[in-house]
Amino acid sequence: MQQKSKKIVLMMFGFFAILILILIGRSFLVPEQATMLSHLKSDLKINIDIKRASKNLAKLISIPTITNKAKKEFIEMHDLLSAQYPRLHKTLKLRKVNQYSLLYHWPGSNKKLPPILFLAHMDVVKVGIAEQARWQHPAFSGFIDKHSIWGRGALDDKAAITSLFESLSYLLKMKFKPKRSIYIALGHDEESGGRQGAVEIRKLLEAKKIKPLAIFDEWSGVFAGNILKVNKAVALVAVAEKGYLTVSLEVEGETGHSSKPPRTTAIDRLSRAIAVLNRKPMPARLTEPVKTMFERMANEMDFSSRLVIANTWLLESLLLKELTKQSVSNALVRTTFATTVFKAGDSENQLPLNAKALINVRLLPGIRPQKVIDYIKKLVNDPLVKLSIKLPVSEASAVSSFTSPLYRVLETSIKQEFEDALVVPGLLIGASDSRHYHSLGSPIYRFRAFRLNQKDIRSVHGINERISIKNLAHSIRFYVRLLLNIEKSQFMF
| Residue 418, amino acid | F
State how far the Cα of 325 lies from the Cα of 245, in Å rounded to an integer. 23
Q: Please, are residues 249 and 386 in contact by the beta-carbon 8 Å criterion?
A: yes
State how far the Cα of 66 lies from the Cα of 127, in Å rounded to an integer. 9
* Active centre residues (catalytic): 123, 190
State how far the Cα of 444 lies from the Cα of 205, in Å rounded to an integer. 15
Helix (H, G, I), strand (E, B), or coil: what is residue 271? helix
State how far the Cα of 488 lies from the Cα of 421, in Å rounded to an integer. 23
Give how far the C-alpha of residue 117 lies from the chain's centroid of Cα atoms, to the nearest Å.
Answer: 17
Name residue 236's beta-bridge partners.
221, 424
145 dihedral zone (left: phi>0; alpha: psi -120 to 50; beta): beta
Name residue 390's beta-bridge partners.
246
State how far the Cα of 220 lies from the Cα of 198, in Å rounded to an integer. 20
State how far the Cα of 433 lies from the Cα of 448, in Å rounded to an integer. 14
Q: Please, are residues 303 and 27 in contact by the beta-carbon 8 Å criterion?
A: yes
Q: Please, are residues 427 and 289 in contact by the beta-carbon 8 Å criterion?
A: yes
What is the dihedral angle through the alpha carbons of 105, 111, 116, 122, rounded to the nearest 10 degrees? 10
State how far the Cα of 355 lies from the Cα of 266, in Å rounded to an integer. 6
Q: Which string of DSSP letters, residue by residue, matches 419-458? A: TT-EEEEEEE-S--GGGGGGGG---EEE----EE-HHHHH
Cβ neighbour number for residue 221 with a 10 Å cutoff: 25
Q: Which string of DSSP letters, residue by residue, matches 82-131? A: HHH-HHHHHHSEEEEETTTEEEEEE--S-TTS--EEEEEE--B----HHH
> Alpha helices of 280-420 — where are they, by DSSP H?
288-297, 303-309, 312-323, 327-333, 369-380, 405-417
Asked whether the bond before 392 is cis by omega within 30 degrees of 0, the reply is: yes
Name residue 426's beta-bridge partners.
238
